[in-house]
Structures are given as structure tokens and as C-alpha cells.
Amino acid sequence: MRKILIVGAGQAGLQLALGLQGRGYEVTLMSNRTADEIRDGRVMSTQCMFDTALQHERDLGINFWEEQTPRIEGLGVSVAAPDASRPIDWVGRLDGYAQSVDQRVKMAGWMETFAERGGKLVIHGVAVSDLDYFSRAYDLVLVAAGKGELVSMFRRDASRSPYEAPQRSLAVAYVHGLEPRPESGGRLAVNVNLVPGIGELIVIPTLTTSGPADILFWEGVPGGPLDVFQGVKDPEEQLRLTLDLMRQFTPWEYDRARSVELTDANGTLAGRYAPTVRQGVAELPSGGLVLGVADVVVANDPITGQGSNSAAKCAASYLESITERGDQPFDGAWMQSAFDRYWRIAEPVTQWTNAMLAPPPEHVLQVIGAAGELQPVADRFANGFNDPADYEQWFFDPELAAAYLGEVQAGQAAQSA
């Protein structure tokens, strides 16, 4: 039986560990925290997983919270004007529903499941010097811990990383008591509120440790009016700032958030990081090799909500690459090929996310405006969150975008004739 070590117990690490375990591999999983410490700790992300990523969990039979998690049927876009009015507001319909499970719930539950199924779970921090030993003791070592010393082993790929500094300051608050949008008709949606030149407010229905809730997520241009969360330690103060900014820039969202409360004392998170693509394979001081997983090697800004989706897709891709390898060695050439296979999935995500961080070109503004009048455009944009590769076919290029809008307009005109 082949022995595999996974360092890091996030979406990708745990999903891959459970997948390999189910296929008969001897898997060791290392985490720096216990399941209880994760469950009782601070929120870790703003995850919203779309249909393809959710299907990867279903395929492994680890979609334990699907029935109790709010089903997100749409993705809405609103654009704020300088006077805080909302000249653009529409909702695209998703072909398959999305869901968000607080990673404290999911990671703790998956970790316990892995151990219950006979997996070897080691609670201990890992240094580069430890990996030197592990690379000789295991057939394959994968690094899925996206922060700290281990990430620095993987060299930044400048050709794929246009940004060297954070492009947004990030502030998250998990809340109870958010009223539904009056126009929603009872259907849940992720709402993306664009405040041009200033940042974005993203609102996501979720399931947390205390039941259904909502995530209020500000992304602020550094140095701008939303960049006020650094150094704020008190969760209630962070929520107050969040609501004050909603009142000022997105009053339609503030109107339904007047009575919200934090889900728990650990329901806030703030920070910033530079979106970075790294080399997929790292060489240890001893000459051993390790393979990077998910945001260890492809860390995009969360503006497009792709982090957990990409992690799930990376785990699924690596699971197939490992299985197909059979008894052959997991050497450097194989590791590079496994990363390259994942990069074919990740590249469109990175391209789209980096584009959304920049000021939008004129044709993108036209698409966003047209989606308010043309429901097929709104629907296609929304479903791109599930399959970002589709944006290459119509969204990025001005000529392709114009041709697509023309097709939709002609179709609408023919239907109404």
C-alpha cells in the first residue's frame, strides 16, 4: 500500500485525504489544530461553492451538510453611484445551486471522519526540516497548508503573478438577523455590490456553527475609505465599521442589516494578501521534492469567490493524477505534470480574478449594464462563477462581448416580434 502524507487540513487537504483513503491509500494527515480547536476558533474564509465543486464532494460522499445548508439559486450584481443610489441591479440564475458551509463546521467534521475511518491524524506543526525526513518516509508528500514557512518553499512565478502587493483589504463578519432582499421572491442569492474605485461588498448566505447565517464581506481598495479594519481587534467594533460603511456606500444592503448580530465571538476576520501563483513543486534542502496543493501554489484574491472552489477542483485533479500513476514513482516529472493538469483548471480562474481587481474596461461595463435588460446575459455571467473558463469565450474580449450581446439582443427581438 502506497504511503502518502498531506500537510494541511483545509478544503483541499482534507478532501484529498478522504478521497485517497477511500481508494485504499495509507494516508497521514498533519494539522496544527484539533477538530475542536478549529470548530471553536475564528472563522477562516468566505467560501461559496458552486455546482462543480459541490459535485466533487458528492462524488466522495462527504457532502454531510448539503440538506441543512441554504441553497443559493442566483448571483446578483449591484453597482453603486456616487450618490449611493443603485443604477444597476440584477440577479443571474444559477443552473445548479451553490452553497456555503463555514469551514469551521466542515473542516472539523471532515477531520473527525478521516480519523474515524482509520486515517492517521497527527496534530503538530510542520517545519521545512520536518519535510526533509518525511520525503524519505513517504511515497508522496503534499503541502496543503497555505500559510507560514512551508509556503515560502514554493517560488513565486512572476510570469503568472501580475500583482506584487495586496489589491484589496479584506474584512468579514458572520451575522444572524439579515433580512431578505425585498425583491428576492424568497430565493437566495450571493449579492455582489460594486462601489467603483472604492471596493466591493459581497453578501453570502451560509451555514455556520449556530445554524443558517449570512456573511458580510468588504473588499476595499488599499488606502481608500474601506481600508479601515487593520488593527481592529474587537469583533463588535468590526461589525460596527462594517455596518457604517454599508450605510454610506450600499444603503440598500444596510436597510436589511439594521438588526444583525454576530453569530459568535469568533465570527470576524480581517487581513490582506497579494494574489500569487507559485511553482507547483518545491525542492527541500536534502534534495527531496514536495507537491503544492491549492492556494499554496495558486492563491487568488477572494473577489470572485473561487478559493474553496479551486481547492475542491485541485483535490479532485490530484486524486485522479495520483490514482492513474499506479505503482510508478511520484517523481519530479510526475509532480510537475500533476500541477500542470491542475493549472489548466486554475488558469482561467486566475485570469478572471486578476481582471476583476483592475478598473473595468468599457466593454465590461457594457456587459454589466446590459445584463440588467437581458436575462440570458445575467445568467451566463452568474454561471461563470461555476465555470470561469466560459468567460474566455465572450467576456474578456471586446469583440466577442459585442458579438454575444448582439446575438442575445437579436434573439430577444425575434421572440417579441
Q: Is residue 67 part of a domain?
A: no
Same domain, 186 and 258: yes
Question: For residue 148, what pLDDT is reported?
Answer: 79
Same domain, 148 and 283: yes
CA nearest to 53, candidates 90, 112, 101: 101
Same domain, 225 and 329: no
Question: For residue 412, what pLDDT is reported?
Answer: 87
- What is the Cα–Cα distance from 74 to 94, expressed in whole angstroms? 5
Which pLDDT band holds residue 181 (cuts at 50, 70, 90)? confident
Question: For residue 147, what pLDDT is reported?
Answer: 76
- What is the Cα–Cα distance from 52 to 55, expressed in whole angstroms? 5
Same domain, 113 and 157: yes
Same domain, 323 and 264: no
Average pLDDT over residues 265-286: 96
Instruction: Report residue 176 as a C-alpha cell.
Output: 444572524
Q: Is the pTM of this model over 0.75?
A: yes
Same domain, 26 and 53: yes
Which pLDDT band holds residue 304 (cuts at 50, 70, 90)? very high
pLDDT over 80 at 184, yes or no:
no
Name the residue range of residue 53's domain: 3-62+103-163+275-357
Q: Is residue 257 part of a domain?
A: yes
- What is the Cα–Cα distance from 349 to 355, expressed in whole angstroms? 10
149-164 pLDDT, tens per residue? 899 999 999 999 999 9
Average pLDDT over residues 277-305: 96
Which pLDDT band holds residue 186 (cuts at 50, 70, 90)? confident
CATH code of the domain containing 341: 3.50.50.60
* Average pLDDT for the chain: 96
Same domain, 154 and 177: no
Residues whose CB is less than 8 angstroms from the CB of residue 147 and which lie 6 or more positions away in sequence, other chains included: none
| DSSP H helices in 260-331 | 307-325
Instruction: Determine contact, residues 184/192, Cβ cutoff 8 Å.
Output: no
| DSSP H helices in 264-397 | 307-325, 332-357, 362-370, 375-383
pLDDT over 80 at 345, yes or no:
yes
Same domain, 265 and 287: no
- What is the Cα–Cα distance from 39 to 88, expressed in whole angstroms? 39
Q: Of the residues 271, 291, 320, which one is the last residue of a structural domain?
A: 271
Same domain, 83 and 182: yes
Q: Of the residues 249, 271, 293, which one is the last residue of a structural domain?
A: 271
> To the nearest whole percent, how much of the chain has pLDDT over 90?
94
Same domain, 246 and 388: no
B/e letters for 37-61, b = 16+ CB within 10 Å, e = fewer, are: ebbeeebbbbbbbbbebbbbbeebe
Average pLDDT over residues 309-320: 98
Q: Is residue 107 part of a domain?
A: yes
Question: For residue 28, what pLDDT is reported?
Answer: 98
77-134 pLDDT, tens per residue? 999 999 999 999 999 999 999 999 999 999 999 999 999 999 999 999 999 989 999 9
pLDDT over 80 at 201, yes or no:
yes
Same domain, 385 and 337: no
Same domain, 128 and 152: yes
Q: Of the residues 271, 287, 320, which one is the last residue of a structural domain?
A: 271
Q: Is residue 255 part of a domain?
A: yes
Q: How many domains does the chain have?
A: 3
- What is the Cα–Cα distance from 396 to 390, expressed in whole angstroms? 10
Question: For residue 416, what pLDDT is reported?
Answer: 77
